[in-house]
Amino acid sequence: MSTSYASKSLTVHLARGIVGFGLIAASIALAPVIGWASLVALPVGVLALRGCPTCWVAGLVQTLSRGRLERTCADGQCGVSRTGS
């Protein structure tokens, strides 16, 4: 099982964020107008964010660093370094 939340491209990831955060905000903002029915958009927004806003931010960081950073472990110590350095 992969623990990566990264998307294939930054554009795709940002689009997921716009949809996810937009649906969450809309479900909360429309609650006084249309009542509990507005909360139907909430789980769809959370699904677009892959579980939670924190998961989306982690995926954004992974998407931005994909191919630029690599984790290395040697002699019992692990660290992150730039690729090619």
Give the predicted TM-score (pTM) of the model: 0.72
Query: Which residue ranges in the chain fall short of pLDDT 50?
Result: 1
pLDDT at 1: 44
pLDDT at 84: 61
Tokens standing for residue 74: 């040697």
